[in-house]
Structure 1
């Protein structure tokens, strides 16, 4: 079912756009205006965006060459380029020098929202475009009349609040229905061998996007279809593995990074052959839709990650209880409107990418930030929204799938990139049977233990004790899931949700890539399953080191529980990382299969604790709760953290993993970084 996400009269909207642009076009020529550099720069950007609107409406856009499209893009994103950003009006440091301190916060938010005009025009959302134009002129008018920073902040607040019925409704409808076919039409109908199609998305197209698309165009159809089929089969097999009825589901959301359209097109065909409608939704680009924690959706690598980092809390102006309560009301109304589609939602299919260049964010003291009250408000809002959504989506019947592919930036040489891609294809298509049999031997040994000890190798300070749940009937129950290559590609891990009390020690990793950050000498101390202390060695300042871990792991929380303990068994993946020396660039999806890993946040079975699943041997996986998640029985709002971040110790850094059994016996699973348990030695090959 298709829902109307645009209800405006185009003729009226275009008249409003023209009136607004007539006024905006005069701003750069005006003299002695307050904040002239700021408003003139934003006005210039909006003029360029409006020029694109005209080119798209006249058909001129379609005739532009690749070079012309790239030049046009470079003009639009000029101020955000890394080599220019130090002097950009979008940079908090620049605004701090230009304006009184009180004005910096609302003008940063305005600047970010104005950038959303570009995507609005590309997607044909002219109402969204004119609303941004009118907000810009309203704030400009306040500034010209000598208005206060509070008046500007209030204008932005009421803009966000007044349009919630439009923005929140549109975002939700596009999450669970195929009402917006913008990405679908380009992917399925354009000639993907003509790389001009990349510039139709409205996102910044850099070398990773163009080189990825170029490389995929060099592959034969059989290889591309193999990549897509592995992905779609993993999604389908997830339903079977978890004993869920796939026939009741017919909507899937597919998320990927721009550049991989050739694989995505084949995946869409496979999904549609299965009877699924494919939702292709963009990453949030308007402040009203964004979260400081997680913004999932289709996107490119962006022009400048420091810009995004500087503006990640720009929604602080309207992060207030009244606003969030109103947003929940609109969400409920929209869920009710599309409840039939939501009941058919089968879960997400995520195609991740990895190998981007290292990024160390710089914290700007005048950038927008959340205080403790706003953190709590946003956490409560996310919990409330999740609970509300669960009323319309029966998660006991949903599945998911995640797969990852490398970006060209992972290697300097095209040939090496090609070799890495070939090896990742091999990793993602390994024989599942061999792994499941060996993993079952490991699970059988682990199920005899009270606790498991993990000890680092030379130079690694890890010393952890993991407390396991007591099995009531070991002949029918198990603590660990035997993970194949269904929802979580590639194959290669056994995992559990540990008991918190009694789980303690130190986790240490020399190099790890988390949430886009490369952390060095990460050290986390755990007491009764909760993060007690943490540090790394990325910066000279301990405060900056803790901040980057807050961003990468804690996600705004003061502490998090260990929600998962797992043993990765994919030695082939480890050897590929070693072969190309790309350990720190491996995505957590593959890295977690390369050694023991520990996830902080919710358990592996978040919101599905009561939906018992079974291993291939028929045993029920009963270790689904911990002392935090079980609070859902009495106060569900306090049970979840809405995050889950895996941290892996590579086999090269690992010493031993052994069980501690009730009678005092020990069974070694891994010794000196090698699998030694009888029946699991094949994993070392």
Structure 2
């Protein structure tokens, strides 16, 4: 698809979405839901425009903290109790027939903040078009059936399976993905405004980590990074694997550790490895804070709405095709180098009956998918040529004496 066509699709979608908050063609209680989602998507469009205008570079740290919080406000703290992203509230407010499906849509649209910051216009546009498709259904004189709504979400997921799979493969093996790497390598890391360039939710944990690392000398930072990178090199040495045949390494870290990661990138390059750094699955590879861990937990099984055999087969076919397309990059992939964190305040999730849950058949499908996906990956990233390293550091909330632990 050409950029011109994609920009045209986006322009048409956002133009229509801007009209929706003032309309009354959808009956209550669904009108409020669709109006709120339209307002959110309009906010994402505004954020996209401000980023393009350079706001992340010119705003103060205080202004950026407010800017960073805005996309997450609806799920923070007490606000989550009356958020359509909360399945308990969504089912109570929207009913058993459509509450779970629309709550799932809420979560999918919530990914817009990541797509906006990373300028992934296809994903953003596709989600907006799904929203408009469902909105049009609820404008009809007769409300859509639960199955009809689920099928629309299913086809959205299925239709873009190849594009999503391609991006997921590239996130592992393709060093040309530069969004995160540019932040790490080109920012003034003494100016904590850089933390807000990711679009991830930023708290005192991330700021405290970055602030503390800025008290270290460059020699100390290099030593921290050397422990990490040497751990990766020695993994190959001990296992008698040939690192010289490899070209890339996947770096995974928590936001705030950029000074160390910058040093590690330079050290890996000395080994002949170009880092691949991507945001990956939300808050798993390059991670900020969670605005609400219960919200994340509530949506852990949203695919229960649409997961079936056909979708599993399509995803596996797409994975095979994309790994074959990127087989040279996959062959040069050495493995992950992971910076783990610990010390966060413990989280005890509430298991809500209103949240989506995989049934027994879907659980078997997920396990089967994971097994077959693992076999596909192993054909392109061979176990006997693969390595990894993991190092762990505490987060500031572990203790007021945090600086003594690091």
- TM-score range (shorter-chain normalised) is over 0.9
Structure 2 residue 14 is the aligned partner of structure 1 residue 21: yes
Name the structure 2 match of 1:81: 76
User: Contact 1:106/1:153 (CA < 8 Å) preserved in 2?
Assistant: yes
**Structure having greater relative contact order (Cα 8 Å, sep ≥ 6):** 2
User: Contact 2:236/2:387 (CA < 8 Å) preserved in 1?
Assistant: yes
1:363 partner SS: coil
Structure 2 residue 297 is the aligned partner of structure 1 residue 304: no
Name the structure 2 match of 1:510: none
Structure 2 residue 119 is the aligned partner of structure 1 residue 134: no
Residue pairs, 1:144-183, within 5 angstroms:
144-145=139-140, 146-183=143-180
1:117 to 112, 115, 118: 112
Structure 2 residue 405 is the aligned partner of structure 1 residue 420: yes
User: Contact 1:90/1:112 (CA < 8 Å) preserved in 2?
Assistant: yes
**Following the alignment from structure 2 to structure 1, what is the Cα–Cα distance between the partners of residues 231 and 402?**
25
Shift of 1:189: 0.6
Name the structure 2 match of 1:255: 252
Structure with a larger share of its residues in helix:
2
Residue pairs, 1:165-244, within 5 angstroms:
165-244=162-241
After superposition, the C-alpha distances for 1:423-469 in whole angstroms (9 at most, x for unaligned) are xxxxxxxxxxxxxxxxxxxxxxxxxxxxxxxxxxxxxxxxxxxxxxx
After superposition, the C-alpha distances for 1:568-624 in whole angstroms (9 at most, x for unaligned) are xxxxxxxxxxxxxxxxxxxxxxxxxxxxxxxxxxxxxxxxxxxxxxxxxxxxxxxxx
Name the structure 2 match of 1:45: 40
1:252 partner SS: strand
Name the structure 1 match of 2:269: 272
Give unmatched runs, 5+ long, in structure 1: 1-7, 286-294, 422-685
User: Contact 1:280/1:298 (CA < 8 Å) preserved in 2?
Assistant: yes
Name the structure 2 match of 1:30: 23
User: Contact 2:56/2:196 (CA < 8 Å) preserved in 1?
Assistant: no
Shift of 1:296: 4.0
Name the structure 2 match of 1:615: none
1:256 partner SS: strand
Residue pairs, 1:484-499, within 5 angstroms:
none
Structure 2 residue 346 is the aligned partner of structure 1 residue 370: no
Shift of 1:32: 6.0
2:341 partner SS: strand
User: Contact 1:108/1:314 (CA < 8 Å) preserved in 2?
Assistant: no
Tell me which moved more, 312-321 or 355-364.
312-321
**Following the alignment from structure 2 to structure 1, what is the Cα–Cα distance between the partners of residues 3 and 108?**
22
Structure 2 residue 353 is the aligned partner of structure 1 residue 358: no
Structure 2 residue 392 is the aligned partner of structure 1 residue 397: no
Residue pairs, 1:499-518, within 5 angstroms:
none
Greater C-alpha radius of gyration:
1
**Following the alignment from structure 1 to structure 2, what is the Cα–Cα distance between the partners of residues 150 and 277?**
47
**Following the alignment from structure 1 to structure 2, what is the Cα–Cα distance between the partners of residues 195 and 12?**
37
1:282 partner SS: coil
**Following the alignment from structure 2 to structure 1, what is the Cα–Cα distance between the partners of residues 201 and 270?**
32
Q: Provide TM-score, normalisation by structure 1.
A: 0.58
Shift of 1:72: 1.6
User: Contact 1:281/1:298 (CA < 8 Å) preserved in 2?
Assistant: yes
2:35 partner SS: helix
Give unmatched runs, 5+ long, in structure 2: none
Name the structure 2 match of 1:99: 94
Q: Provide TM-score, normalisation by structure 2.
A: 0.96
The count of aligned residue pairs is: 402
2:206 partner SS: helix
**Following the alignment from structure 1 to structure 2, what is the Cα–Cα distance between the partners of residues 70 and 90?**
22
User: Contact 1:41/1:89 (CA < 8 Å) preserved in 2?
Assistant: no
RMSD: 1.3
Shift of 1:57: 2.2
After superposition, the C-alpha distances for 1:658-683 in whole angstroms (9 at most, x for unaligned) are xxxxxxxxxxxxxxxxxxxxxxxxxx
**Following the alignment from structure 1 to structure 2, what is the Cα–Cα distance between the partners of residues 317 and 335?**
27
1:348 partner SS: strand
**Following the alignment from structure 1 to structure 2, what is the Cα–Cα distance between the partners of residues 156 and 142?**
12
Runs (4 or more) in structure 1 with deviation over 4 Å come to none
Structure with a larger share of its residues in strand:
1
User: Contact 1:37/1:89 (CA < 8 Å) preserved in 2?
Assistant: no
Residue pairs, 1:338-353, within 5 angstroms:
338-353=326-341
User: Contact 1:142/1:151 (CA < 8 Å) preserved in 2?
Assistant: no
Name the structure 2 match of 1:598: none
User: Contact 2:91/2:100 (CA < 8 Å) preserved in 1?
Assistant: no
1:312 partner SS: coil
**Following the alignment from structure 2 to structure 1, what is the Cα–Cα distance between the partners of residues 60 and 377?**
44
